Each structure stands twice: as C-alpha cells, then as structure tokens.
Structure 1
Amino acid sequence: MARLKTLGSRIKESAGSRVKLVTPGSWRSGMTSSQRGYDYRWQKAREQYLRDNPLCIYCERNGRTTAARIVDHIVAHRGDMILFWDQTNWQSLCKPCHDSVKQAKEAAGQGS
C-alpha cells in the first residue's frame, strides 16, 4: 500500500483565504466579526447568557432537552448596537436549530 503524502508543506493558507459568505451590499460587508460587535465583550456576555439560559428554546418547544451553544438575536440587529445589546432580543439555540429553523424563519421574513 502506497503512503499518502500530506499536502501541508505544499499548501499555504493565508489569513484572508477563507471564503466569506456575505451578500454584496450587506450591512456587514467588509467588516470583521469584531467590527460587527462580536468581540471580547460579546463573548463574555454570551457566556453568561448561556449559563443563565442553557437550553435551546426551539427544542424545548418540541419537547426535547438540548444544550444551547448559540445566543441568537431574535430580531436581526443589522448593525444597530442598541438592538444588538438588548438582552430581551436574545435567545438560546442549539446549532442545528440556529442553522436550519431560525435561518428558514429569517429567510421567510419572520422573527423568533
């Protein structure tokens, strides 16, 4: 059986090599996550919110108990920092619910 060589020494990855999935003309176009508010202060607030609200609310509504990993903005803040920091606009979600159910609702123009 032939040994496969790793590509590590032949592939160079730069910090800017990640594909960005931002719609042209979007409020977040050309901004880093820190510039959009997701900085150290957010990480601390997020951690505390998840300690206080550890379960996915969508799963709970369907009779399941699932640990939340994401603090989601119920109403998309689109750069509005007052709405961004309004904890009444936050909800705890697991990643599958955030990436499917919540995204589908947003695409349909619905909130929570």
Structure 2
Amino acid sequence: MSEYDQRRGSAASRGYGHKWRKAREDYLREHPLCVFCQRRGKVTPATVVDHIEPHKGDLKLFWRRSNWQGLCKPCHDIDKQRLEKGGALPGCDADGLPADPHHHWS
C-alpha cells in the first residue's frame, strides 16, 4: 500500500463498504446511462456512481442522492477528473452545443 493510500484510508473506511455497494447497484439500475455521454448524444452504460460535488468525507453529501450521477468509467476517470482540476468538459452535444455545462454558450 502506498503512502498516499495509507493516508487516505481503505475504501470501506471512506464509506465505500457494503451499504454503498448496495446503494450503487440500486442507483445504476434506476439511472443506467452515462450522463456525460448522453450530453454528447451517445448511449453508453453507466458503471460508476459519481459524486457531482466531491464529498471530501462529508457523510451527508456522500449519501445525498441528488449529488450522484451515473458515468461510464472513461468519463469518470478522464473527463470528471479534468473538470475537478478546473478544466472543461470536451466535446459537444447532438445539437453542436458544448457538452460542458459551465461553457459560456450553455
């Protein structure tokens, strides 16, 4: 285990235990498509339940379902990380408008 992982703690200690896995399964059953891909006019299964606003250990925010969104793994690992680092969501929707909801044209 790396020093970073030791400081961060285990997934279970951060809230990602059995209760989360069950809630995640239920959420993905109800929201089966990646919201980032949908904005681009693509249909891609969601495999990750992402916290829209990073919870940073705040359990109320962690469990607030209105703060969840379904993403495919590539969108979670690439696009969402880019957004969290202050970047923009690449691409456009089916109408040619920017996929990034914070773009000045949106």
Bin the TM-score by the shorter chain.
Answer: 0.7 to 0.9
Pairing 1:103–2:81 present: yes
Cα pair distance change 1:56/1:20, threshold 3 Å: farther
In the comparison of the two structures, how many residue pairs are matched? 89
Query: Is 1:92 the counterpart of 2:70 in the alignment?
Result: yes
**Percent same amino acid among aligned pairs?**
48
- Counterpart in the other structure of 1:72: 50
- Mapping 1:21-60, distance limit 5 Å: 22=5, 29-60=7-38
Output the CA distance in 1 between the equivalents of 2:70 and 2:47: 7
Which amino acid is 2:32 matched to? P
Greater helix share, structure number: 2
Which 4+ residue blocks in structure 1 deviate beyond 2 angstroms? 19-22
- Would the alpha carbon gap of residues 21 and 59 (structure 1) be closer, same or farther in structure 2, given more than 3 Å must change? farther
Q: 1:95 to 1:34 in 2, by over 3 A?
A: same
Match of 2:61 among 79, 83, 90: 83
Larger radius of gyration: 1
Name 1:61's counterpart in structure 2: 39
Cα 1:20–1:66 change in 2 (3 A) is farther
- DSSP 3-state at the match of 1:29: helix
Structure 2 CA distance for aligned equivalents of residues 71 and 87 of structure 1: 10
Post-superposition shift, 1:77? 0.2
Tell me, which stretches of 5 or more residues in structure 2 are unaligned? 89-100, 102-106
